[in-house]
A and B are shown apart, each in its own frame.
Chain A
Amino acid sequence: MSERIRLARRTVLTGLGAALAAPATLRAQSWPTGPIRLIVPFAPGGTTDVMARLVGDRLGPRLGQPVIAENRAGAGATVGSTIAAQAAPDGQTLVMSNIASHGIAPTLYRNIRYDAMRDFVHIALVTRNPSAMVCNPGFAARSLADVVRIAKEKPGSLDFATSGAGSSNHLLGLRFAMAAGITLNHVPYRGAGPAMTDTIAGVVPIMFDGLPSASGHIRAERVRLLATSGAERSPAFPDAPTFKESGFDVVSYQWFGISAPAGTPAAIVDRLNREIREILKDPEVVARFDQLGGGIVDMTPEQYSAFVAEEIAVWAPVVRASGATVE
Chain B
Amino acid sequence: MLENLLYGFTVAATFQNLSACFIGALLGTAIGVLPGIGPVATISLLLPLTFGMPPTTAIIMLAGIYYGAQYGGSTTSILMNLPGEVSSVITTLDGYQMAKNGQAGPALAVAAIGSFIAGCTATILVAALGPLLTAVALSFGPADYFSLMLLGLIVSAVLSEGNVVKSIGMMVAGVGLGLVGTDVQTGQQRFTFDIPELSDGIGFAPMAMGMFGIAEIIRNLEMPEVREALKTRISRLWLTRDEWKRVAAPIARGTTLGSIVGILPGGGAALSSMGAYTLERRISRNKHLFGKGAIEGVAAPESANNAAAQTSFIPLLTLGIPANAVMALMVGALIIQGIQPGPRMIEAQPDLFWGLIASMWLGNLMLVIINLPMIGMWVRLLKVPYDLMYPAILIFCAIGVYSLNNNSFDVYVTVVFGFLGYLFSKIGCPPAPMLIGFVLGPMMEEHLRRAMLLSRGNPMVFIERPISASLLALAVIAVVAMALPSIRKGKDEALAGG
Contact = CB atoms under 8 A, between A and B. Distances in A.
Given A72-B405, A188-B185, A194 B338 contact: no
B187 interface: yes
Contact of A78 (B140, B196, B340): B196
A197 B450 CA distance: 14
B6 interface: no
Interface string A62-77: 0000000011111100
Interface string B325-343: 0000000000011111011
Contact of A45 (B182, B200, B337): B337
Given A111-B194, A165-B187, 11 more contacts: A1-B52, A1-B53, A2-B52, A79-B197, A82-B196, A165-B183, A190-B184, A201-B138, A326-B182, A326-B188, A327-B188
A104 B187 CA distance: 13
21 contacts: A2-B52, A5-B403, A9-B403, A45-B55, A45-B338, A71-B405, A72-B406, A72-B407, A74-B199, A74-B200, A164-B187, A165-B183, A185-B453, A188-B185, A189-B450, A193-B340, A201-B139, A203-B141, A326-B189, A326-B199, A327-B188
A113 B199 CA distance: 14
A164 B405 CA distance: 22
Q: Classify chain B: how many residues form its interface, as a range.
A: 35 or more
B491 interface: no
Contact of A187 (B140, B339, B407, B453): B453
Main secondary structure of the interface of B (DSSP, over half): loop
Given A75-B196, A159-B454, A201-B139, A190 B340 contact: yes
B454 A5 contact: no
B186 A324 contact: yes
A325 interface: yes
B196 A79 contact: yes
Interface in B441-464: 446, 450, 453-454
B301 interface: no
Contacts of B142: 198, 203
Interface string B165-205: 00000000000000000111111110000101101100000
A188 B446 CA distance: 9
B49 interface: yes
B344 interface: yes
A108 interface: yes
A193 B344 contact: yes
B186 A75 contact: no
Nearest to A164: B184
B199 A108 contact: no
